[in-house]
Amino acid sequence: MKNKITFPILGIVLLAIVFILGNDNLFGNNDTVSDKDSPIVTLTASSYDKEIAAGLVLVDFWAPWCGPCRRMAPILEEVAKEYKESVKIGKLNVDNYQKFALGKGVEVLPTIIVYKDGKELTRIKGLASKEDLVKIITENTQK
């Protein structure tokens, strides 16, 4: 008799866990960048190619649960504001676009892919400093 009761309770608990972890809005984890005045563009699988097509673009592949991604966010925000005339910065939440991120070869978070006029120039895997990003921007806007 215990097994018949335990199994449904266990099932309900597991469903609750899946719901909580899968519900991005419950903890404020969604696609968008939190600051409405942010120059950072929120990317989706369908907007990706259009957004990287022209100019210098840095795309941050991130996840809300990723500690280094959270530390990277204010650095990207600062660079986006200071260099808004030179570079577009986009963010793609890999939790919402797992297959897309894997298709782009993203294996480490955060990963920043640098594009110029739609062509990939380089990748930064892991946490990057502001100086690293500024160097990439200045090197690729002087050409």
Name the residues annotated as catalytic.
66, 69
Cβ proximity of 37 and 87 under 8 Å: no
Q: Which residues of 121-143 are buried (b: 16+ CB within 10 A; e: fewer)?
A: eeebeeebeeeebbebbeebeee
Nearest to 43 by CA among 94, 80, 103, 84: 94
